[in-house]
A = this chain, B = another copy of it.
Amino acid sequence: MEIKVKQKRIDEDRFLEMRKEVLAQWPTGKEVDLEEAVAYQRSLPESKNFMKVTEKARKEGKTLIWPRAGTPVLEDEIALVKTLVDSGIRHIPVTIDSYSRLSQFDKAQRALEESIRTGRPMLNGYPIVNYGVKNTRKLVESVEAAFSPRGAVKLAMEIALASGMTASGKSSFLEFGSYEKRTTLEQCIEASQYTNRLTGYYADRGAIITTDLHGWVPSGVFPFSVNIACMIVDALVAAEQGVKSIMPQTHCEGHMAQDIAWMRLIPRLLREYLDKFGYKDVMLPGILANQLPLFPVPQSMGGAFAYLNYTAMVAALAEAEAVFVRTIDEGAGVATRESHALSYESANWILNIVRTQKIKFEIDGVETEEKVTEVEVRAMLDKLLELGDGDIVIGSIKGVEAGVLDSPFSPNINVKGNVLGVRDITGACRYLEFGNLPIPDEIKEFHREKIAERERAEGRKLDYHVAVEDLWALSKGRIVGVPTGA
């Protein structure tokens, strides 16, 4: 099949044509007036600009907390963001509900109406398209903080940016690898080119919107080289469409040396590849540390606090500009306002105490992990560029088909799924099955040795079942899984 999507900026005329179709998808599309929206964006104070807020944190040596906030009814959402800002939050990521994420605005509308009628939230996020620009500006104007829509489709992004939200977290690999079942990477990149082009349109007119990137987030314990390679691809795609501010979102798997190594590696490689492809004016205001593994079971309140505080501690030691900590209700369901406040009070305690100390440190192993991951990422990117004959988009699409990029437990039928990760004896993530990943032989050997070491220590072969045990480990207060019994 011929690949139609390429690494190329969408012409302005074509883009404006595409927008008409997008805006027609739901009546609130009519509320978007692009020139007025740019002016509105430019009139916003620095405290509402995602990039400015992040740069301020960097300058002040602070680590800011990213919450996750999305509840269907506008009044409740406003009350929630007020609680958040009172807890010291300055970035507000607004989770959009699952129907809206799949452009099923009619379903979202019915559920929203039922939520309002019954007083019970029937949606797992804020239906931004249904609310439209006027309403969402009320939300944005309700507090001094920068807003970011999570999981916005094209129309949702139009509304979010016109409403004064100043970030756009839209990673084609995140969509492809975690949210989609049949959609191909090509379709996901095409969609992200639109939202990035929109962001670029604002940027060309002096309104800087930040794109935050996830790369391909694995569903489980898995080394992060695939993730990082894909994050770099996402960044190049965004930059080509005119995005001027990129914030990488790294995922902590819980092993300090690895997590810190990845936090150091990501901005370094991003800068290098952006420069190499000519996107020297793209800014990287900071890095966001996210926590990946399963959260403690809902019954374990002590474990929940420990996990979120541990994540805060690692982010603070690594001097990340922001950290995405979950609430103590993470395992139970969408958090209450009280859970948000309590959880961020706790994380903020750690962040303040650690950052004030201005700790400089070296952990054994960080260097090795950084080097190993770097070699893997470069090998993957080389292979993609080879497959795409220099076009990173084409290369990535072919790469996924060939399993050069791969991930375990993926929901998407277009993913090979021939790879698997487990933890080694100290909790570091290692490849157990390499599938078709283009990992150099000596690095493969490194992973195999680490795996053999655990096999000797535990007197058993590591396999799929161990990968599942490791998936649950952190949630149960360990970093390495233990046999769950026959």
- A contact set with B: CB distance below 8 Å: 254-257, 296, 300-303, 305-307, 309-310, 312-313, 341-350, 352-354, 356-365, 426-427, 474, 477-480
Judge whether B257 and A359 touch: CB under 8 Å: yes
Q: Which residue of B lies closest to A254 (CB)?
A: B353
Main secondary structure of the interface of A (DSSP, over half): helix
* Contact status of A256 and B359, CB under 8 A, knowing A345-B300, A346-B305: yes
Chain B residue nearest in CB terms to A314:
B313
Q: Is the CB of B363 within 8 A of A310?
A: no
Complex formed: what's the CA distance from A303 to B345 in Å?
6
Residues of the B chain whose Cβ atoms lie less than 8 Å from the Cβ of A345: 300-303, 306, 477
Which of A342, A345, A348, A365 has most chain B Cβ within 10 Å? A345
Q: Identify 13 residue pairs between A and B in the complex whose beta-carbon atoms are under 8 Å apart, listed by A's number.
A: A254-B353, A255-B357, A302-B305, A302-B346, A305-B346, A309-B350, A310-B313, A345-B477, A356-B427, A357-B426, A358-B426, A361-B362, A361-B364
Q: Which of A305, A345, A427 has the most CB of B within 10 A?
A: A305
The answer, among B354, B364, B477, for a CB contact under 8 Å with A359, is B364
Contact B426 A306 (CB under 8 A): no
> Chain B contacts of A344 at CB under 8 A?
302
The 9 closest A-B pairs by CB, nearest first: A302-B345, A302-B346, A306-B349, A305-B305, A360-B364, A309-B309, A361-B363, A349-B477, A306-B346
Nearest chain B CB to A411's CB is how many angstroms away? 28
CB distance from A240 to the nearest CB of B (A): 40
User: Which listed residue (B305, B353, B354) contacts A474, Cβ 8 A?
Assistant: B353
Instruction: Indicate if the CB atoms of A302 and B342 lie closer than 8 Å.
Output: yes
- The residues of B that contact A313 with a CB separation of less than 8 Å are 309-310, 313
B353 touches A477 (CB 8 A): yes
Contact (Cβ within 8 A) A478 B356 = yes
Instruction: Assess whether A310 is in contact with B353, with CB atoms less than 8 Å apart.
Output: yes
Bound CA–CA A214/B222 (angstroms): 45
User: Chain B: which residue is nearest A87 at the CB level?
Assistant: B302
User: A342, B301: Cβ atoms under 8 Å?
Assistant: yes
Decide: A361 and B358 in contact? CB cutoff 8 A. Answer: no
How far apart sit A349 and B479, CA to CA, in the bound complex (Å)?
Answer: 9
Closest to A358 in B: B426
Contacts of A353 in B (CB 8 A): 254, 306, 310, 427, 474, 477-479
In the complex the two chains form, is A363's CB within 8 Å of B360's CB?
Answer: yes
A346:B303 contact, CB within 8 angstroms: yes
Q: Which residues of B contact A300 (CB under 8 A)?
A: 345
Known: A302-B341, A306-B309. 7 other contacts (CB 8 A): A302-B346, A303-B346, A309-B350, A310-B349, A313-B313, A358-B426, A359-B363
Q: Find out whether the CB atom of B352 lies under 8 angstroms from the CB atom of A479.
A: yes
Which residues on B sit within 8 Å (CB–CB) of A365? 359-360
Q: Min CB distance, A238 to chain B, in Å?
A: 34
- The residue of chain B having its C-beta at the shortest distance from the C-beta of A343 within the complex is B302
Is B310 a contact of A350 with CB atoms below 8 Å? Answer: yes
Identify A357's interface contact among B296, B303, B352, B479, CB under 8 A: B479
| Complex: A400 Cα to B285 Cα, angstroms | 55
